[in-house]
Chain A
Amino acid sequence: MSEAAVLDAAIVDTRPVLMDLKNITLRFGGVEAIKNISFDIREGEIRAIIGPNGAGKSSMLNVISGFYIPQEGEVWFRGEKRGPMKPYQVARLGIARTFQNIALFEGMSVLDNIMTGRLNRMKAGFLSQAIWWGAAEREEIENRAAVERIIDFLEIQNIRKTPVGRLPYGLKKRVELARALAAEPQLLLLDEPMAGMNVEEKEDMSRFILDVNDEFGTTIALIEHDMGVVMDLSDRVVVMDYGRKIGDGTPAEVRASQAVIDAYLGVAHD
């Protein structure tokens, strides 16, 4: 524990805190999936959560996105304490996410899938939407324009009309990212965005993640297994093991931490 404390102290960052997780504990029955974990996510950074299988990384992401409600601890977002919320309410706050096992609307086209990301930005009454008139028409055109920008950005123009069910795995991951981006989130949560991809797809995805961060200034929290990718992408890294936080700091700091090496890496990588 002292090792982690030293790492915490080492973090010097002047950017304001976007999300602050304080003493989060999550239990499933008698099992503690997350044990008293605290860390923050600062505006504009790419924050990685790493750890061996079963460390509680996905549970942590589910706490942030409201899919799990922790038994203890506080979640602060934009300087306000967040009460127990449903996932859809969290989404409306400006937190978008992707899933480890891809959760897309398989029967709908790529375009329709991405458009669902903008559902909460549509305000026109449903009557005017149904007859395609007035505010609804303007809104639909605006939203379509925004979606087209994202489609261009992620280079998926040619599959715009394809039903998602027909796409290969790597493209599905990209469409899921597009849908999350369409919401123009303040915080973007990516659960293993590169799992199961080949080297080329991983490179593409890494580039997109960096570009999103650069161009839109979106704050990103991601879970990833590929250590090389994590070290290249992220500004700061949280390391979890058996539900506990065993490290927190810049990639270089984490890599140098003996606790992390013992628990996760096993051997020193360079």
Chain B
Amino acid sequence: MDQLFFAAEVFLNGLMTGVMYSLVALGFVLIFKASGVFNYAQGVLALFAALTLVGIQQGQVPFAHLINAIFGTHVESFGWTLPSIAAIALTVLVMIGLAILIETLVLKHLVGQEPIILFMATIGLAYFLEGLGDVMWGADIKTLDVGLPQGISDSVEAVTAEWFGYGFFIDRLDIWATMIAALLVAALVAFSQYTKQGRAMRAVADDHQAALSVGISLRFIWIMVWSIAGFVALVAGIMWGTKSGVQFSLSLIALKALPVLMLGGFTSIPGAIVGGLIIGVGEKLFEFWVGPLVGGATENWFAYVLALLFLVFRPQGLFGEKIIERV
């Protein structure tokens, strides 16, 4: 019986991890839907957002190392600690500024280019942003604390212990992450389905020329979309940063988002969610049941193998738009 409950607990924890994957995948889907660009830089965007948030919150002087090296000064910190809300608001502003810069310096010059060109541009952007984050805020691992509750939830353990005679170990951060993700997704779906900006966004993703001809400003939509993607990246960055510290390996979680997208489809917001959950649960349960038989560490490859199977049998993913081709 305990074995079964333990499996249920693994399942629940998988769901929670899946939510985290979904958050990163969401950012990819948004930009892909709105501009047809696969944004390789989404993971780095999350890292950059988290670094900026920590830096602003702790009053770190940006480019401190660079300034000190050039001028021989010893500036390190502004000496303040901002409240979380203020720091998050400022970081959102920075992400919007970044979106404007990306549009002006990169995307504007690539209007009408092949998707592969834009994809390559985002790879360049990813490396640039990683370097920029490093120079701006330093390469050390930082702790991020915006006041989200952490640690094992005692109440869940107590309640489940009473009901089932088995206490479930659930991280409170995971519960919060799930609720915030649900809220974010609801807001994004409402935005893209029911607002004129959302409709314009879908139009731009589909055909630039046609969008222009009905009076949509590409520039406005792109800045908007990258700002939203920056915001989603910030949310993901906060969750992952709180969980495992803000470090440069954070940009690697973007790799886990790839199998999520292949499962869910590159164009579907619900797909990103369901894909993330399947991968999260799948890899945890697989590790639980099959892991011991093959020496463990299946979490490293399970998602990719699953994605590979999908590529072979259902390349558009579970929720992706069916590929229609008229001849």
**A-side interface residues toward B, CB under 8 Å?**
65, 67, 86-89, 91-92, 96-99, 103-108, 112, 115-117, 119-120, 122, 124, 126, 129-132, 163, 165-166, 179-180, 183
Contact = CB atoms under 8 A, between A and B. Distances in A.
Contact of A88 (B191, B206, B217, B267): B217
A119 B214 contact: yes
20 contacts: A88-B211, A88-B212, A88-B217, A91-B214, A105-B207, A105-B210, A107-B321, A112-B202, A116-B200, A116-B211, A116-B216, A119-B199, A119-B216, A122-B196, A126-B198, A129-B194, A130-B190, A130-B194, A166-B324, A183-B214
A130 to B, nearest CB: 4
Given A106-B206, A107-B206, A165-B326, A97 B195 contact: no
Interface string B153-191: 000000000000000000000000000000000010011
A179 B210 CA distance: 10
Contact of A92 (B195, B215, B267): B215
A99 B210 CA distance: 8
Contacts of B200: 116, 119
B218 interface: yes
B195 A96 contact: no
A89 B196 CA distance: 17
Given A88-B215, A103-B210, A108 B194 contact: no
Interface of B: 187, 190-191, 194-200, 202-203, 205-207, 209-218, 267, 321, 324, 326
Contacts of A106: 206-207, 324
Contact of B214 (A126, A130, A132, A179): A179
User: Which 8 pairs, one residue from A and one from B, show the smallest C-beta to C-beta distance?
Assistant: A91-B215, A103-B210, A105-B206, A129-B195, A87-B212, A130-B190, A126-B195, A122-B196
A239 B315 CA distance: 51
A63 to B, nearest CB: 14
- Interface residues of A: mostly helix, strand, loop or mixed? mixed
Contacts of B215: 88-89, 91-92, 119-120, 183
A105 to B, nearest CB: 4
Contact of A116 (B187, B214, B267): B214
A130 B191 contact: yes
Contacts of A65: 213
B65 to A, nearest CB: 41
A32 B214 CA distance: 28
Contacts of B213: 65, 87, 91, 96-99, 103, 180
Given A117-B214, A119-B196, A166-B324, A103 B209 contact: yes
A88 B218 contact: yes
Given A99-B213, A132-B194, A183-B215, 13 more contacts: A65-B213, A103-B207, A103-B209, A103-B210, A107-B202, A115-B199, A116-B199, A116-B214, A119-B200, A126-B191, A163-B324, A165-B324, A183-B214
Contacts of A86: 212, 217
Contact of B212 (A67, A122, A124): A67
Contacts of A117: 214
A184 B196 CA distance: 17
B182 to A, nearest CB: 16
A107 B167 CA distance: 48
A242 B321 CA distance: 44
B172 to A, nearest CB: 30
A144 to B, nearest CB: 13
A224 to B, nearest CB: 19
Contacts of B216: 88, 116, 119
Contacts of A92: 215
Nearest to A106: B206
Contacts of B212: 67, 86-88, 91
A185 B217 CA distance: 18
Contacts of B209: 67, 99, 103
Contacts of B194: 129-130, 132
Contact of A130 (B195, B207, B218): B195
B313 to A, nearest CB: 23
B59 to A, nearest CB: 33
Given A67-B212, A165-B326, A108 B217 contact: no
Contacts of A103: 207, 209-210, 213
A30 to B, nearest CB: 22
